[in-house]
Amino acid sequence: MKTVAAGPAGPDGDTPQWKRAPAGYVRENTPLTVARYVAGDDHADLLEFDPDELRRLAEVARELRLEEESSAIYPGGDESAPAALPPVSPAVRPQGLSDGVENRLDLSASNDGAYNRQGRLWGDGGCTAQLIGRRIVATAAHCVIRYSDGAYVGGTFAADQVGNTTPFGVQTLQQVWYGGKYIQYCTNPAPGYWSDCVREDWAFVVLQDNFPSGHPGYFGYEAPTEQGFRDATKVHAGYPGCGYPHSPSPCADNHLYGQAAFCTTGDFLWPFDNGFKAAVELGCDASPGHSGGAVWRSTHRRILGVASTEQCATCTPAEQPDAHVRAYPNLFSRYSSFHVGLVNNLRVQYP
């Protein structure tokens, strides 16, 4: 595996050209594995974890409340945020580009501290990421692994970026843990089918330990059942690129956008051999640049997965005749107990 030094930023949402698998296509669904790349190495290591051990670690973490969110900490020990900004206005409609309706709001001025934990990640194009530990961010694998050749693309993360302002500084990406079969299944010349790739399209990045201006805090995380996921009140936001057919209107570069209404849930797709379906359709608003942006439970602020790809863009009947797809156009990579155990492990290693 090659590495590519971080250079001029690519286009927002520089996403792979994955597609729906042909009828009758089946791939043997082997267990989840992890690839790890450390900056300065010339290859990635493929790691396997004992699922039972990760589950036991998850149980201990819950007892210790390790999986909970944290508060922001500012210089001088002040745990309160700066002066509160006006809250966003309520949404007019319950869904965004689902059903062809654009309903995102600029959340950059929101006083909701959860949005401060999200930020702009520049790797293979412009993506969204969010802190899930003091030095750990969650995003999508395709944001840091280049589709054309499977190269790791070094990059940076800036929490709560608004325009050119980065209140918590800019950290470099020091190592990345991502889906172990992502390169094999999802980068050129692999066929790149949604059924293979959305499940592998997750990444946890360890950041440079450099927060001179304080820290915005971080999200918790969990892996609920399908019914628990469906019942949860879910929020999603991201940093869209401007100038696409389904960009927000109006659109400001490097501003966080999302809808005030909760995301609705479509189908859970493509199970592994153990029956766990790690891909889910959501009816929240997204466009290029939202990749890697989390869907999280509004209560307890726990991340449930990250945005991977879209099944339609403007989602009008002319573009996508299937009404179900129009209602739930965005595919997310959903967290399992495997991911929860992995993040527990990383939080302990990189406090």
Residue 83 pLDDT greater than 50, yes or no: no
pLDDT of res. 273? 77
pLDDT digits (tens, 9 = 90+) for 11-65: 555 567 898 999 888 777 767 788 887 877 777 777 776 667 666 666 666 666 6
Mean pLDDT for the stretch of residues 82-102: 46
pLDDT of res. 94? 35
Partners of residue 45 on adjacent β-strands: 36
Stronger pLDDT, 246 or 89, i.e. the higher one = 246
Stronger pLDDT, 350 or 94, i.e. the higher one = 350
Considering only 74-78, 130-134, 204-208, which range has the smallest mean pLDDT? Answer: 74-78
Strands 45-47 and 234-238, how do they pair?
A: unpaired
Mean pLDDT for the stretch of residues 317-321: 89
Report the alpha-carbon distance of residue 126 to residue 9 in Å, rounded: 7
Percent of the chain with pLDDT over 70: 80
Residue 313 pLDDT greater than 80, yes or no: yes
pLDDT of res. 86? 39
* 8 A C-beta contact, residue 36 and residue 45: yes
Stronger pLDDT, 100 or 202, i.e. the higher one = 202
Non-local (6+) Cβ contacts of 258 within 8 A are 104, 105, 107, 115, 235, 236, 237, 238, 284, 285
Residue 93 pLDDT greater than 50, yes or no: no
pLDDT of res. 122? 92
Report the alpha-carbon distance of residue 92 to residue 81 in Å, rounded: 29
Mean pLDDT (the chain) is 83
User: Dihedrals φ, ψ of 75, to 5°?
Assistant: -50, 140
Residue 95 pLDDT greater than 50, yes or no: no
Stronger pLDDT, 31 or 74, i.e. the higher one = 31
Percent of the chain with pLDDT over 90: 45
pLDDT digits (tens, 9 = 90+) for 177-195: 999 999 999 998 888 999 9
Considering only 24-28, 99-103, 246-250, 324-328, which range has the smallest mean pLDDT? Answer: 99-103
Token pair, residue 312, equals: 């339609």
Report the alpha-carbon distance of residue 273 to residue 348 in Å, rounded: 30
What's the gap between Cα 54 and its chain centre? 21
Mean pLDDT for the stretch of residues 244-267: 90
Which residue type sits at 215? Answer: H
- The CA distances from residue 138 to 295, 325, 335, in Å, are 11, 26, 11
Residue 8 pLDDT greater than 50, yes or no: no
Q: What is the dihedral of CA 68, 69, 70, 72, to 10 degrees?
A: -170
Reported as type and span, the H/E element at residue 98 is: none
> Under the phi-then-psi rule, with left for phi > 0, alpha for psi from -120 to 50, and beta for the rest, what region is 192?
left
Mean pLDDT for the stretch of residues 238-242: 93
What DSSP string runs through 19-57?
BPPPTT-----PPP-EEEEETT-SSPEEE---HHHHHHH
Instruction: Give 87's DSSP letter.
Output: P
